[in-house]
Structure 1
């Protein structure tokens, strides 16, 4: 919080009495205004090592500085334990899809639930309906903040490129993604852009890092360069390519890359250390 300063004023040649100036200065010192949204939140740097675990019993012993874990599945005590081990902790949330297994699932009316997104129990949301979704997503982000997380990974942020059951446009997606970023910053959390490669040029300034799946498999990793050039980490995973197929390019591009299994359990294979390839 930043207190407003006070400067004494005069009218003509007549100054305010000293006692009045002292009183006003004291009152001004008690007056404060919020800092700009997201001013002091965390921003991971390119190449930061990480672990992404969304299933199974949490293993807090992987020796990396960043963990990305499910926000609903873990208590504040798990986040605090990771902090004691020197980790920053990202809160995974789905902000673009309705999940029928979440404790707040009943608060999402049928009118905003669309087609399945390919994962059991998950359905695309009508992101145009911010009148309904904004308070629901803000409560989820508040939950992350209350548990002590450092950042949010909002998932399913590219519905406009999928068959959602709604006529979503690129403009709809930009508005919604920026809304999610503002909500995270409002609660003092960093926020990552998940996938949505086509809108990186517009959205990079709104986000503090990126999370990407399979850019190497689909030959898209170069599109993440704006984040790296801005000094922001790109947390990247592949599922189907061996590390020998993507690690050299990952080092060249400055990505934080892992090989994971689709269930995103404990298992991980990190790119071996090596010299970046010119190209």
Structure 2
């Protein structure tokens, strides 16, 4: 808070000068204007509040985060990353990516998105040991070493997510891809999280994540969770979909295109995607079509 205090002191001086200049009469003589202390204190308090937020503390002003380009996507979360070719956007893992890599992408004109797992925790995460045991739930089906988080009590690990968001920003990322924002849906199947999560739990948690990302000047996207589009479309900045063509939920994200927000639609080779069928559909919807390996460990192919 010291910088804000200093800013307030400078504001007080600037405000006094402003009033002297405005009220100096045309006779050229200097007159001292007795500005009421109560109004000065109010002015300094309000202006200090504005300075505090413009300095990146607290909630950022509306639209104070970058626009995600609607262009070719390189989505890779592990392995050596090769960004050669016509790449406009890259999405990579927070912990696997260095600040130097992000700087290189900036220099190449590539928009960097930071992948964060917000609905589950992985044993190999640098901060795994910081999560309270009580919020770590059942294994995430199909992914060894990954377990669901109790998002209904996200206040118990919110500080960890805030540190992750801070690290994204410090490394130079411009946006967030929050993974597993559909945890409540698992509790409607036999792949239970262990916490009996509800839709309202999910929306409340995602709303907090959106606020935290935007407060840091970071864009944030919707990852899958088609049923939540009505709740999120006005606050999210882009969408990233997995297997939307295969499972038939592309229609749910047309509203993103209508609001000029990019949609990146990924289909997996291991799931038998046919590029000759998928790519024309992606173009028809106005989506950026991407064909990738499910491990996300190598360079994907963008639809022409």
Q: Tell me the TM-score normalised to structure 1 length.
A: 0.86
Report the secondary structure of 1:217's partner residue. helix
Q: 2:275 aligned with 1:246, yes or no?
A: no
Q: CA deviation at 1:81?
A: 0.6
Alignment of 1:1-279 (within 5 A): 18-20=32-34, 31=48, 33=50, 34-35=53-54, 37=60, 39-45=63-69, 47-117=70-140, 118-162=142-186, 163-239=192-268, 240=271, 241-272=273-304
Structure 1: where are the runs of 5+ without partners? 9-16, 273-279
Tell me, yes or no, if the aligned pair for 1:234 and 1:255 is still in contact at 8 Å: yes
**Structure 1 contact 155–194 (Cα < 8 Å) conserved:** yes
- Is contact 2:82–2:299 with CA below 8 Å preserved after alignment? no
Q: Which has more helix, going by share of residues? A: 2
Deviation of 1:250 (Å): 0.8
Judge conservation of contact 1:79–1:89 (CA < 8 Å) in 2: yes
Unaligned runs of 5+ in 2: 20-30, 187-191
Distance in 2 between the 1:72 and 1:190 partners? 19
Q: Tell me how far apart the structure 2 counterparts of residues 93 and 119 of structure 1 sit (CA, whole Å).
A: 16
User: 8 Å contact 1:151–1:191 — kept in the other structure?
Assistant: yes
Point out the structure with the larger strand share. Answer: 1
**Structure 2 CA distance for aligned equivalents of residues 77 and 257 of structure 1:** 28
Find the aligned partners of 2:230 and 2:174 in 1 and give their Cα distance: 25
Cα distance, 1:128 vs structure 2: 0.7
Q: Shift of the alpha carbon at 1:18? A: 4.9
User: Kindly tell me: are residues 59 and 30 of structure 1, through their superposed partners in 2, closer, same or farther at Cα, counting changes over 3 Å?
Assistant: same
How many corresponding residue pairs?
A: 261
Quote how far apart the aligned CAs of 1:146 are.
0.7
Secondary structure of the structure 2 residue equivalent to 1:124:
strand
Q: How far apart, in 2, do the equivalents of 1:41 and 1:97 lie?
A: 26
Contact 1:184 1:190 in 2 (8 A): yes
Q: Secondary structure at the match of 1:216?
A: helix
CA spacing shift, 1:30–1:174, aligned 2, 3 Å: closer
Aligned-residue Cα RMSD (Å) equals 2.6
Structure 2 length as normaliser, TM-score? 0.79
Match of 1:13 in 2: none
2:75 is paired with a residue whose SS is: strand
How many angstroms does 1:261 deviate by?
Answer: 0.6
